[in-house]
Amino acid sequence: MLSKDEIDKIKRAREEWEEKSVSKTISRFPERKPKFATDSGIVVKRVYTPEDLQGQDYLNDIGFPGEYPYTRGVQPTMYRGRFWTMRQYAGFGDAEESNVRYKYLLSQGQTGLSIAFDLPTQIGYDSDHPLAEGEVGKVGVAISSLADMEVLFDGIPLDKVSTSMTINAPAAILLAMYIAVAEKQGVPMDKLDGTIQNDILKEYVARGTYIFPPAPSMRLITDIFEFCSKNVPNWNTISISGYHIREAGATAVQEVAFTLADGIAYVDAAIKAGLDVDEFAPRLSFFFNAHNNLFQEVAKFRAARRLWAKIMKERFNAKNPKSWQLRFHTQTGGSTLTAQQPDNNIVRVTLQALEAVLGGTQSLHTNSRDEALSLPTEDSVRIALRTQQIIAYESGAADTVDPLAGSYYVEALTDEIEKRAMEYIKKIDDLGGAPKAIEKGYIQKEIQDAAYEYQKAVESGEIVVVGMNKFQIEEEPPKNLLKVDPAVAEKQKARLARLKSERDNNRVKEALSGVEKAAKGEENLMPYIIEAVKAYATLGEVCDVLRSVFGVYQESVIL
Amino acid sequence: MDRPIRVLVAKPGLDGHDRGAKVIARAFRDAGMEVIYTGLRQTPEQIVEAAIQEDVDVVALSILSGAHNTLLPKVVQLLKEKGAGDKLVVGGGVIPPDDIPYLKSQGIAEIFTPGTPTSESIEFIKSHVRVEA
Amino acid sequence: MDIKKGIIDGDRIALAKLITMAEDGKKEAMDIIKELYHRTGNAYLIGITGPPGVGKSTLTAKLARAYSGLGKKIGIIACDPTSPYTGGAILGDRIRMQELFTDPNIFIRSMGSRGHLGGLSRGTRVAVRIMDIFGMDYIFIETVGVGQSEVEIADTADTTIMVLAPGLGDDIQAMKAGIMEIGDIFVVNKADREGAEKTAREIDTMLDFNEKSTWRPKVIMTVAQDNKGINDVLHAIEEHMKYIKDSGIFASKRKEHIKEEILELATQNIMSEIMTGLSKEELLGIVDKVAKREIDPYSASIDIIKPIKGGIQK
């Protein structure tokens, strides 16, 4: 930190520079716009200097990688030790087809699996449910029972890979199936490594695949926390997600604020359920978006890390340093992709992936160029994976830790995002916390307002989207898009019918009534759900029991 | 015409991506339309009943789940069956270009894919809607 | 299509179309209503009002569902404000009524206020009339009310339900002057929340000071979302219905409504008579004269109704 005298000297020099050089240049060549700002409305100055970091104390505010407040990263050596996990979100069709794609991705150097489930699975319906019509296997793989899950992981040793599952409302059931498959492979629970998304609050505000009302949903989540802390110690029990909040139209500041506010709500709920903060907090993980604005996004990751460390240490009095660390997965911004000139998306994804790496992500998914048009083809997915590998092996960006630290601009942005996010969190605290703020529609409305403002700015041309509202060309409709085989639904239905005739239906009935009893009482639900899936009760059957006890969530929309 | 155009904005299918539906609902409102918004996870039956009761001029369907080839034609077909085939039906969302000719042949008047300005959808509706003055 | 026949035959498309035509002020709609007017008078009107966010739509949905379960036919009119700047509106009440969409006994219509002040929409009254003709047993009219705007709904409905929720503290204080005379039934919804009993008690105490009426409004706690307390509200509605029918209030209020309606329609008729007998140019000419202070507006107003006065006297 510079002394006041030195800062004053810089200030005077800057003012002189502005008076002489800058004004002279501007009088001849005006700047492109009267005001520059990030897509989150943070005003961007012409130049940043040590003046912008006056209040900053290096050791306290930035410090060293692997040390509080983790501004520079959660591990001391970061990517010098090991690259981030390259984890492409994938899954479509039925379990067999997805199993082939996973094996392909692993053979191409991918280091972890990320399972996409179809929508019926995500909201707790079997493939033969009337609401599943037209949806089976479309946005992910259809999993209706343990039998499907066994096929999905056939030949993939679950003690060797880490598996991330994007599943929320029925997370407990899919986790139970994973545990059951592992057991059949001879892998005990304490050898399992992976993540379930399990973040219901953002479903209510941004992603929409909720089933139950908030209170029983929070109970399911804390049951999972408790069960895993005792039995599946290496499992990340939740991935608190800002990704979808950003996709729904939030700004970078809102992404940080609403995600951490959700995080606070989960910690509160777990403590209220009688858990010790240091028992479950080390297994909390996060999931962010890498959007277009390069430096803002890097600063966002740094700010989120510092803010969470402070929240855990100061607000929740966590003692274990692992509880203070915000570890996160990143996905490049899906909504930034254009259907026009789709190859341009490769460039967007490259920049966004670089942001995630410069921001110290623990794992990364890079979107494929054709995702504004349909599910990605194998070729597109390979290019997306290669993008990560080029950054890792060729760019040198991973060779030093937190390379942008000390940039006047990036440090100033980091401070600013943290400050603005904190203001939102205070506001949400005043409303009674994230669940209350969601119930009142506050968070939804803030996001919708931002989304609408963005849309208007794009339509007025204030925001340029290359190839879409500027530099357009006449183009042929793209060819070779991925099509999901429509026979998948029929195949799944047949498989379910066979399962229901072959399994021990008495055992299923008994196991389901066990789930019902536990749901009505206060016991941890996990052992009962595991018993039910092992008896080959289907996802839909278990969810129906829970629906009958818990009820279903009714969307509240304020437009 | 002095009465507002009435539009039903609905989300068939199970996906929860309602950013587009909400943005377009606001844009329609700001263009002077009366927008009936029905929320997520609507079956074709629910959508058609709502369209009939509300006597809307336009049914705007937003879908990103990939089930468009199944669900969109079903809405049109049910509207016809119930004697409400006079409504303009449009769709929007992540819909591959290959599928658009099929959807149009099934009676969807227009499909708006990602990147379409809201002003374009509004213009389309204003010039195609059948409102008796 | 033959709308009139459709209405008689119970065709919901005809019902929907006739409401649209009437809301747009079409003459054909009025002609049909005139012809079928003798079929009106059977529906019971329930007003549902209260501040935003208390769960009015959810409560309405559950009540409608309960009546439907008893084999009754239900119409719901949900009113939302129209933007005065663009003329557009987002009508979002249906979202909380999704479970009713495919119930054959229930018909929901959302309406923008279209410049009408007072809480209801321009077409609400005529829509009620049409649903009545159609044979609805109960018609719910739902609108946001904070302060004064719910007077109109209370005026229109036979039974008015004022919905509140815990945690509105100051709002209730601010509203109490207005709301206490309006509600025939008070519902404290979201009663699983902290402070519900206190809110209910507060309302109860305030009601004690209101001795103008022989009907003592009920205060009922509900959790509409979970279907709790819905039957209690149903019973209260039926009780209030019996009370107003037995006491003669129902009949006199209906007559009062008819009187108001006749006068309102007469005003509209006179206005349109004036406007048809007066060209735009003539009117502008008169306006110019008043603007130049050649004549005064009072005399001008007498002048422009002179041509129709004869007609009225006939």
Domain end, chosen from C189, C217, C247, is at C247
Q: Identify which of C24, C86, C90 has the shortest CB distance to residue B32.
A: C86
Report, as an integer, the average pLDDT of A388-405.
98
Whether residue C156 lies inside any domain: the answer is: yes
Q: How far is C244 from C236, CA to CA, in rounded Å?
A: 12
Interchain contact A481–B (C-beta under 8 A): yes
Chain C partners of A558 at a C-beta cutoff of 8 Å? Answer: 92
Whether residue C207 lies inside any domain: the answer is: yes
**Predicted local confidence at residue B1, as pLDDT:** 45
Mean pLDDT of chain A: 95
Q: Does residue C248 have a pLDDT over 60?
A: yes
Q: Does residue C151 have a pLDDT over 80?
A: no
Same domain for C67 and C210: yes
Q: Does residue C169 have a pLDDT over 70?
A: no
How confident is the model over A258-275, as pLDDT tens digits?
A: 999 999 999 999 999 999
Q: What is the torsional sign of CA C288, C292, C295, C297?
A: positive
How confident is the model over A153-170, as pLDDT tens digits?
A: 999 999 999 999 999 999
Nearest CA among A377, A286, A376, A364 for reference residue A332:
A364
Same domain for C309 and C172: no
How sure is the predictor about C139, in pLDDT bands with cuts at 50, 70 and 90? very high
Whether residue C203 lies inside any domain: the answer is: yes
Domain span at residue C307 reads 258-313
- Interface partners of B (3+ CB pairs, < 8 Å)? A, C
Q: How far is A222 from A217, CA to CA, in rounded Å?
A: 9
Is residue A163 classed as helix, strand or coil in its secondary structure? strand
Q: Does residue A35 have a pLDDT over 60?
A: yes
Q: What's the DSSP call for residue A521?
A: S
Length of chain B: 133
Give the other-Cβ count within 10 Å of C211's Cβ: 8
Alpha carbon of C115: minimum distance to chain B alpha carbons (Å): 12
- Interface partners of A (3+ CB pairs, < 8 Å)? B, C
How confident is the model over A322-331, as pLDDT tens digits?
A: 999 999 999 9
Q: How far is A97 from A91, CA to CA, in rounded Å?
A: 8
At A170, which helix (H) or strand (E)? none
Same domain for C93 and C33: no
Domain end, chosen from C226, C247, C268, is at C247
How confident is the model over A289-311, as pLDDT tens digits?
A: 999 999 999 999 999 999 999 99
- Alpha-helix residue ranges (DSSP H) falling in A38-197: 95-107, 119-122, 146-152, 171-185
Q: How far is B118 from A457, CA to CA, in rounded Å?
A: 12
Same domain for C229 and C127: yes
How would you class A558 by CB atoms within 10 Å of its CB: exposed for 0-12, middle for 13-18, buried for 19 or more?
Answer: middle
Same domain for C142 and C126: yes
Whether residue C215 lies inside any domain: the answer is: yes
Number of domains forming the structure of chain C? 3
**Predicted local confidence at residue C304, as pLDDT:** 86
Q: Mean pLDDT in each 10-residue stretch from start to end of chain B (133 residues)? A: 88 93 96 95 95 97 94 97 96 92 97 94 94 53
Of the listed ranges A426-435, B35-44, C146-155, the least confidently predicted one is C146-155
Q: Does residue C311 have a pLDDT over 60?
A: no
Q: What's the DSSP call for residue C40?
A: -
Query: What's the one-letter identity of residue C76?
Result: I
Q: Does residue C148 have a pLDDT over 70?
A: no
Interchain contact C226–A (C-beta under 8 A): yes
Q: How far is C37 from A517, CA to CA, in rounded Å?
A: 57
How confident is the model over A193-203, as pLDDT tens digits?
A: 999 999 999 99
How would you class C42 by CB atoms within 10 Å of its CB: exposed for 0-12, middle for 13-18, buried for 19 or more?
Answer: exposed
How would you class A131 by CB atoms within 10 Å of its CB: exposed for 0-12, middle for 13-18, buried for 19 or more?
Answer: middle
Q: What's the DSSP call for residue C13?
A: H
How confident is the model over C8-43, as pLDDT tens digits?
A: 999 999 999 999 999 988 889 999 999 999 999 999
Q: Does residue C3 have a pLDDT over 60?
A: yes
> Which residues lie across from C162 on neighbouring strands?
C49, C186
Chain A partners of C95 at a C-beta cutoff of 8 Å? Answer: 555-557
> Which residues lie across from C78 on neighbouring strands?
C110, C142
Contact A73, A324 (CB under 8 A): no
Whether residue C252 lies inside any domain: the answer is: no
Whether residue C111 lies inside any domain: the answer is: yes
**Predicted local confidence at residue C147, as pLDDT:** 58
Contact C107, C77 (CB under 8 A): no
Is residue A497 classed as helix, strand or coil in its secondary structure? helix
Whether residue C140 lies inside any domain: the answer is: yes
Q: Could you give the percent of chain C with pLDDT greater than 70?
A: 92
Contact A446, A452 (CB under 8 A): no
How confident is the model over A205-263, as pLDDT tens digits?
A: 999 999 999 999 999 999 999 999 999 999 999 999 999 999 999 999 999 999 999 99
Residues 6+ apart with CB under 8 A from A147: A495, A499, A536
Which single residue is written with the structure tokens 């239905």?
Answer: A493
DSSP assignment of A47-80 equals ---GGGGTT--IIIII--TTSTT-TT-SSSSGGG
Is residue A290 classed as helix, strand or coil in its secondary structure? strand
Q: How far is C24 from B102, CA to CA, in rounded Å?
A: 36
How would you class C268 by CB atoms within 10 Å of its CB: exposed for 0-12, middle for 13-18, buried for 19 or more?
Answer: exposed
Q: How far is A452 from C203, CA to CA, in rounded Å?
A: 40
My answer on whether omega of the bond before A30 falls inside 30° of 0, hence cis, is no
Angle between helices A344-358 and A294-310 (to 10 degrees): 30
Chain B partners of C94 at a C-beta cutoff of 8 Å? Answer: 36-39, 50, 54
| B13 to chain A: closest CA residue | A135
Q: How far is C74 from C109, CA to CA, in rounded Å?
A: 11
Query: What's the one-letter identity of residue A402?
Result: D
How big is the B-C interface in CB pairs under 8 Å? 85
Report, as an integer, the average pLDDT of C91-103.
89
**Predicted local confidence at residue C171, as pLDDT:** 60
Same domain for C199 and C164: yes
Sheet holding B34-37, edge to edge: B110-112, B88-92, B58-62, B6-10, B34-37, C89-91
Query: What's the one-letter identity of residue A175?
Result: L
Chain C partners of A559 at a C-beta cutoff of 8 Å? Answer: 90, 92
Q: Does residue A6 have a pLDDT over 60?
A: yes
Q: Identify which of B35, B52, B53 has the shortest CB distance to residue C89.
A: B35
**Predicted local confidence at residue C172, as pLDDT:** 62
Same domain for C128 and C11: no
**Predicted local confidence at residue C314, as pLDDT:** 39
Residues 438-467, chain A, touching B (beta carbon < 8 A): 448, 451-452, 455, 458-459, 465
Which single residue is written with the structure tokens 């009219």?
Answer: C141
Same domain for C68 and C25: no
**Predicted local confidence at residue B133, as pLDDT:** 44
Same domain for C230 and C263: no
**Predicted local confidence at residue C313, as pLDDT:** 46
- The yes/no answer on whether domain A58-74+85-460 falls in CATH 3.20.20.240 is yes
Residues 173-232, chain A, touching B (beta carbon < 8 A): 203, 206-210
Q: How far is C213 from C222, CA to CA, in rounded Å?
A: 25
Are residues B54 and C110, on separate chains, in Cβ contact within 8 Å? yes
How would you class C17 by CB atoms within 10 Å of its CB: exposed for 0-12, middle for 13-18, buried for 19 or more?
Answer: buried
Report, as an integer, the average pLDDT of A362-377.
92
Q: Strand runs (DSSP E) across A297-455, as ranges?
A: 328-332, 363-365
Q: How far is C229 from C162, CA to CA, in rounded Å?
A: 15
Question: Is the complex ipTM more than 0.85?
Answer: yes
Query: What's the one-letter identity of residue A463?
Result: I
**Predicted local confidence at residue A408, as pLDDT:** 97
β-strands A238-241, A284-290 pairing: parallel
Interchain contact B54–C (C-beta under 8 A): yes
Alpha carbon of B25: minimum distance to chain C alpha carbons (Å): 7
Q: How far is C74 from C56, CA to CA, in rounded Å?
A: 16
Residues 6+ apart with CB under 8 A from A11: A51
**Predicted local confidence at residue A483, as pLDDT:** 80
Is residue B115 classed as helix, strand or coil in its secondary structure? coil
**Predicted local confidence at residue A439, as pLDDT:** 86
> Which residues lie across from C186 on neighbouring strands?
C162, C219
Report, as an integer, the average pLDDT of C259-277.
83
- Domain of C112, CATH number, reads 3.40.50.300
Same domain for C300 and C274: yes
How sure is the predictor about C177, in pLDDT bands with cuts at 50, 70 and 90? low
Q: Could you give the percent of chain C with pLDDT greater than 90?
A: 53
Domain boundaries, chain A: 58-74+85-460
Of the listed ranges A51-55, A106-110, B21-25, the least confidently predicted one is A106-110
How sure is the predictor about C247, in pLDDT bands with cuts at 50, 70 and 90? very high
Domains and their CATH numbers in chain B: 6-128 (3.40.50.280)
Structure tokens belonging to residue A559: 């437009």
CA distance to A13, A21, A80, A399, B42, per residue, from A26 (Å): 18, 9, 44, 39, 56
At C77, which helix (H) or strand (E)? strand C74-80
How confident is the model over A473-515, as pLDDT tens digits?
A: 998 888 777 787 888 999 999 999 999 999 999 999 999 999 9
Q: Does residue C179 have a pLDDT over 80?
A: no
**Predicted local confidence at residue C210, as pLDDT:** 67
Are residues B38 and C94, on separate chains, in Cβ contact within 8 Å? yes
Report, as an integer, the average pLDDT of A171-178.
98
Interchain contact B81–C (C-beta under 8 A): no
Whether residue C253 lies inside any domain: the answer is: no
Same domain for C103 and C214: yes
